[in-house]
Copies of this chain bind each other. A is one copy, B any other.
Amino acid sequence: MKWIETVPNFSEGRRKEVVDAIVAQAKAYDHVWILDESLDYDHNRSVVTMVGEPESVLKALFDMTKKASELIDLRVHRGEHPRMGATDVIPLIPLRNVTVEECVTHAATLGKRIAEELEIPVYLYEKSATRDERKDLSNIRQGQFEGFAAKIQKPEWCPDFGRREIHPSAGACAVGVREFLIAFNINLRTQDLEIANKIAKAIRNISGGFRYVKALGMELKEKQMVQVSINMTNYKRSTLFRVYEMVKLEAERYAVAIDSSEIVGLTPLQALIDVASFYLRLDGLTPENVLEMKMLEILMKDADGQKTS
């Protein structure tokens, strides 16, 4: 079975009934499972985490985008988080038996359908980007909904799909493919923020470190420590264990020990298999060797048999 994850962001974080109505669209589908919904009042934004079979997920995302365009009006939307559309961004993440290339195709299919049927212009970003300057979502979103009517007229901001005209109430939408992001923090036994900053700088892509690592130094006042706060944007290429070992080495340089580390939120099983395989020199350990995955496979087959579209 093929699985992808998607984490669509909607510009509504206050009216729960609106978010419920959007999420209900996905619940109607076969092979789409909603892992999480979170509403942020200050951002006035909601984030839905879903996993499932690509075809069903794409259909669900289209229906959610349609419903959001009916219920959310950006002209009256206020919130702290930058946004350009009712459905602001739709990332697709390959999870299992799916390649990045397949997801890029899916993103294009979905984007085209949103543009054609809902008249919402769509920009492809990250691994789906058609131009370098569209890889970074914040570049696309700059100017936000209010500035987009003008921005979309600029030749370099012609949308990837749809006419050069924003949807009057639903704005524009970004669709793209990215890897699963792991939030990985490493706490250091020092209160010297400078050290955390120096280590962050040593490991992050932008300063010459690991390609798929973003990192910042942070103070943990309560713990009287500092933290190297890390976003692992591709755990398959820049791995947890290499990043950890590099932080440890750099910390030793300042005679500082690692106190502990944490994974905030979710990690794919494969990232843990990679860690165990590295340290134990395990040959050929796969998710098939994990008891719980055997159960998951069985239940997914059951679900196949029992659900109907």
Identify the A interface with B (CB < 8 A). Answer: 5, 33-36, 51, 95, 180, 240-241, 244, 258-263, 265-269, 272-273, 275-276, 279-285, 287, 289-296, 298-300, 302-303, 306
Contacts and interface: CB of A to CB of B under 8 A. Distances in A.
B290 A269 contact: yes
Given A263-B285, A269-B269, A296-B299, A291 B5 contact: yes
Nearest to A306: B306
Contacts of A51: 291, 294-295
Give the interface centre of A34, A269, A272, A276 by most chain B CB atoms within 10 Å.
Answer: A276
Nearest to A33: B298
Contacts of A290: 266-269, 272
Nearest to A260: B283
Contacts of A296: 292, 295-296, 299
A33 B302 CA distance: 10
A261 B276 CA distance: 11
Given A241-B280, A282-B260, A303 B295 contact: no
Contacts of A262: 282-285
A287 B292 CA distance: 10
Give the interface centre of A260, A263, A293 by most chain B CB atoms within 10 Å.
Answer: A263
Give the interface centre of A95, A258, A280, A298 by most chain B CB atoms within 10 Å.
Answer: A280
Given A240-B276, A262-B285, A266-B294, 7 more contacts: A35-B294, A180-B291, A269-B272, A275-B279, A279-B279, A296-B299, A299-B303
A6 to B, nearest CB: 13
30 contacts: A34-B298, A35-B291, A35-B294, A35-B295, A35-B298, A36-B294, A95-B291, A258-B281, A260-B283, A261-B281, A261-B282, A261-B283, A262-B282, A262-B283, A262-B284, A263-B282, A263-B285, A263-B289, A265-B289, A266-B289, A266-B290, A266-B291, A267-B290, A268-B290, A269-B291, A292-B296, A295-B296, A296-B296, A299-B300, A299-B302
Contacts of A306: 306
